[in-house]
Structure 1
Amino acid sequence: MPSSSTVRTTTPPTVWLARGRHVGPGAEGAVRARLRLLEEAGTLDGQLEVPAAEGSPERVFEARWRAAGQVTVRARLTLEPGPDGGRAWTLAAEAERAWDPVWPSPTEMFWPEGTESEWAHDSGSALSLTGLNPLPEDEKELRRVLKGAARAWWAVHVVVHEAMTPDARGLVPLAGWLPAGLRHRVVEHRAAPHQLRAVNYALKDLGVQVPRGGALVLPGDPAPAAYDGDGLAVRNVFLDGSEPTELIAAVTRFAALPRPLSADAEAALTALRDDWRLLTPEEELDRARKLVAMYAEALEAMTKSRDLYREAAEQAHEALAAYREAAGSPPPVQQPAATSPLKQLTRTLERLKVTPRARRAEEATAPQEGSAGS
C-alpha cells in the first residue's frame, strides 16, 4: 500500500473535493451559463466570477447554496489550461456540517446537465467519471493504468472483474447507482474475464487482490490510515442489471474514511477558505472586524517591542555609567594626527634631494680644504 512519512492534514468531514478535465473549448461559457440559470431559478443563493489577474489564464467561479434546504454550502471552481485546448478543473466545497453523500454533487451546480462527456473526465488519466473504462489488452499498458490508479488521490478508483462476458444489462456503469455526492468522484475500471491474473500481478506490490468475479476499491496515495484491502474487496458483483449493493457500500465506506490531503488538495481547500470573495453583508462585517482586531494586535505588539527596546537601552546606559563611576574613567588617549602619505613622501624626497648648485659648491670647497691642509 502506498505510504508517506510526511504528516498531512486529514480531509475534514465537511469538505467535498474533486478534480477533472473538460475536453475541448467553451468551458468558461458553460460554467457562466449554468451559474446564471441556477441563480435565476433560486437554486443558488449567489454566484460570482472572481476577476482574473492580468495575464492569468486561470478562471475562478464561486457559488453558494443550501443543501437539504438549510445547510449552507460554499464551493469554488478553478479552471486552468489543459491539454488539447481543454481545461483542467478543481472543485472544492465545504458545508456547515459533515457532508452527506445523498446531497447533490457540487459539479451539478457548475456544469450543465447532459454534458458529462465534455467535463466528466479524470484529471490524471482522462478516463470517464461516469462510464465504464475497459482495461487495456496490452499487459504493459494495463500495469501502467493500474499503477497510476493506485497512486491517484482525487478520484476513487474501483476495479471490477467480469467473471464472464456480460450482456447489455451488465454494462451499466456503477456511477448510475452511486449516491449523488459520489457520482462524479469514481473511476470504474473493467477487467475482462481473461485479465484477472494480469490485474492482480499489477497490484501485487500493494498487497491487495481483486476477487474473481468481484471488485476492489484501490487505496490511492496518500492512502487512508484505516484502509483495509480485504474489507474493501467485494467477492461477487452480479453484472445482471441488479443494483450492486455491496460494491456501493464499499465505495461509500472508502469515501467516508479520513484521508490525508494531498498537497494540491490542501492548496485547493486553503484557497476556498482564505480567498473566498462571495460574502454576505454579515460576513463582510465579520471580516472587517477581524481585520481591525488583527491590526490592533500588530500595533500593540510593535508598541510593546519599542518600549522593551527603550527600557533595555536605558538600563544599559545606567549600567555603563555605574561602572565608570566605580572604576574611574581613564583619560582619553590623544591620537596622533594622521599624516598624509603624500606629505611623508615629499619630506623623504627633500632629505635626499641634491641640487646642481649645491654639488658645484661642494666641489669648489673640496680643493681649498686640501691646500690648506698641506
Structure 2
Amino acid sequence: MARNSTPSTTLPDTAWLGRGRHLGPEPEQDVRRNLIALKAAGVLDDFLDLDPVEAARSSVLHPRDESADPGPTARRLFEARWRVADDVTVRAHLTTYDPESRRKDGEGVGWVLAAEAQAPWDPRWPSPATMFWPDSERVPWDHATGPGVRLRAANQLPKDDDELRHRLREWTRESWYVHVVVHEAMTPDARGQRPVTAFLPPSVRDRVIEHRATPEQAQIVDFAMKRELKTRMPRGGAVILPTAAQDPAYDAERCTVRNVFLDGSEPVELLARVREFAALPRPLTADAERALTRLRQGWHLLTPEEELAHAQSMVTRYAEALEAMTTSRDLYREAAEAAQAALAESGLGDGLTRLSVPGLPKPDGSPLSALTKAFGRFRDPNK
C-alpha cells in the first residue's frame, strides 16, 4: 500500500483517535444516556462524567499539567473503560467543545475522542465512538469537522470546480480520517446509494469518510485529482486519498480500485484496500498528540487495584519526601554547628554573628570579612 517510509512521529498501534461534530440540541445528554445503557447491559465496566476544569485540576495519576488541559472552550469530559477480546482493557476519553464561532448557525458542538488499549488495536473491536454516542443515524453526532460531510454516509462531492479542488487539498491535510472517493458509473438505485463503508469493521468504519462523484463528474474529478494529488479517478472506480499532499510514501496505484459495483453487494477489493491503508502508521499531528496526552495524563477512572497501587505509591512518595526533609535539616544543623566551632576556635567568635540554628542561642553580630576568613577552612569538601 505504501513504500518503506514511516513518519518520524506516528500514532501508537494501541491507540484510536476520532473527532467530529454533534448538530443536535443535547449532545452531552445523548452521551450520558448511551453510557448508562451500556453500563447497565454490562458492556462498560464503568464511566465518569466530569467538569473539564475541575478534572484537569484533580488528575489522579499526575499533578496538574498544561498538556492535559482541554482548553477554555471545553464543555464536558467523559471517561469510559471496557474490556475486549482476551480481557484486554480499553480506556477512552471524550471531550465536547463549544463551536469556534457562536455566530455560525448549524456548526454544532465539536468532540474529540481518544482511546487506548493494553494491546495493539484490532479493527474488529467495537468502535470507541459508539461506546459514547448512540449507534443510530437519528442522533446527529457523526458529522465531520468539515461542512456538509458526515461519517457513515455517502457524501456527494461539490459541483463547483474551485470548491472541489479546495476540498481535496483540505482532506489530504486531515490525518484523523481516511477519505475515499467513489465514482458512480451510472446513477445507482436505493441499494447502490448505501455507503460502502457500512461493510467495514466497526473500528475502521468510524474513521472513514466516503465521497461520491456523480456520473457526469468523471472528467472534473479526474482533472482535479491529477492536478492536486498526482493521481487519477477511474470511471466507475474508487481512490483512497493520501493523508498528506505530495506524500512520497503514497502509492497511488495501490490506492486505486478500477471497478466498484454499486449494486448493494460487498465491494471486496475496495474494502481490503481501505483496511490496508487504515492499518498503516499514521502521522501524530499536534492536535492528535494533545488528545492522546489528555487521555494518559488526565485519567481519573481507576480500577480498585489501581486505586490501591496509587495509594501505596503516594504513601511511599510522602515517606521519601519526609526523609529527605529530615536529612536536609540534620545536615544543615551539623554544618551550622561546625561553623560555630570554627568561629570559636579562630578566636573571632565573640565578634561575629552566629548562624541561626534551631535550639542554639543567637549571639552578637560582627564584621563580614572575619566570617569569610573563618569559613576559608571549609573550602576543601573533604574537611
Work out whether the TM-score is over 0.5.
yes
User: Deviations along 1:18-48, whole A, 9 cap, x unmatched?
Assistant: 1011003100111111111111111110011
Deviation of the 1:256 alpha carbon: 0.6
On the 8 A contact 1:147/1:202 being kept in 2, the answer is no
* SS state at 1:77 partner: strand
1:173 is matched with which residue?
Answer: 195
On the 8 A contact 2:234/2:258 being kept in 1, the answer is yes
* SS state at 2:234 partner: coil
More deviation in 21-30 or 222-231? 222-231
Match of 2:151 among 116, 121, 129: 129
CA distance in 2, matches of 1:321, 1:106: 68
Deviation of the 1:305 alpha carbon: 10
Deviation of the 1:130 alpha carbon: 1.1
Segments of structure 2 that go 5 or more residues without pairing to the other structure are: 1-6, 55-71, 340-371
2:259 is matched with which residue?
Answer: 236
On the 8 A contact 2:51/2:75 being kept in 1, the answer is no
AA paired with 2:96? Answer: L
* SS state at 1:119 partner: coil
1:38 is matched with which residue?
Answer: 38
2:94 is matched with which residue?
Answer: 77
* SS state at 1:65 partner: strand
1:25 is matched with which residue?
Answer: 25
Distance 1:207 1:305, change over 3 A: farther
Match of 1:200 among 210, 219, 222: 222
Deviation of the 1:11 alpha carbon: 0.8
2:174 is matched with which residue?
Answer: 152
Distance 1:223 1:201, change over 3 A: closer
* SS state at 1:89 partner: strand
* SS state at 1:141 partner: helix
Deviation of the 1:245 alpha carbon: 0.8
2:365 is matched with which residue?
Answer: none
Distance 1:68 1:317, change over 3 A: farther
CA distance in 1, matches of 2:10, 2:109: 28
Deviation of the 1:50 alpha carbon: 1.8
2:47 is matched with which residue?
Answer: 47
By percentage of residues, which structure has more helix?
Answer: 1
User: Deviations along 1:214-272, whole A, 9 cap, x unmatched?
Assistant: 11111124898743221111111111222111111111111110111111111111111
2:112 is matched with which residue?
Answer: 90
On the 8 A contact 2:23/2:140 being kept in 1, the answer is yes
User: Deviations along 1:266-285, whole A, 9 cap, x unmatched?
Assistant: 11111111111100121123
Distance 1:169 1:41, change over 3 A: closer
Segments of structure 1 that go 5 or more residues without pairing to the other structure are: 1-6, 324-374
Higher relative contact order (CA 8 A, sep 6+): 2
TM-score (norm 2): 0.73
Distance 1:139 1:74, change over 3 A: same
Deviation of the 1:154 alpha carbon: 1.3
CA distance in 2, matches of 1:196, 1:73: 43
2:79 is matched with which residue?
Answer: 62
TM-score (norm 1): 0.74
Distance 1:281 1:303, change over 3 A: same
On the 8 A contact 1:74/1:94 being kept in 2, the answer is yes
1:262 is matched with which residue?
Answer: 285
Structure 1 segment 4-19 matched on structure 2, within 5 A: 9-19=9-19
1:210 is matched with which residue?
Answer: 233
AA paired with 2:93? Answer: R
Deviation of the 1:117 alpha carbon: 5.1
CA distance in 2, matches of 1:156, 1:103: 18
AA paired with 1:135? Answer: L
On the 8 A contact 2:172/2:245 being kept in 1, the answer is no
AA paired with 1:42? Answer: G
More deviation in 237-246 or 226-235? 226-235
Larger Rg: 1
On the 8 A contact 1:76/1:91 being kept in 2, the answer is yes
On the 8 A contact 1:16/1:93 being kept in 2, the answer is yes
Identity fraction in percent: 53
Structure 1 segment 221-300 matched on structure 2, within 5 A: 221=244, 226-291=249-314
Deviation of the 1:289 alpha carbon: 4.3
On the 8 A contact 1:17/1:91 being kept in 2, the answer is yes
Deviation of the 1:137 alpha carbon: 1.4
* SS state at 1:240 partner: coil
RMSD: 3.2
2:126 is matched with which residue?
Answer: 104
* SS state at 1:114 partner: coil
On the 8 A contact 1:224/1:257 being kept in 2, the answer is no
AA paired with 2:279? Answer: A
Distance 1:24 1:319, change over 3 A: same
CA distance in 2, matches of 1:11, 1:167: 39
On the 8 A contact 2:182/2:211 being kept in 1, the answer is yes
For these two proteins, the number of residue pairs brought into alignment is 314
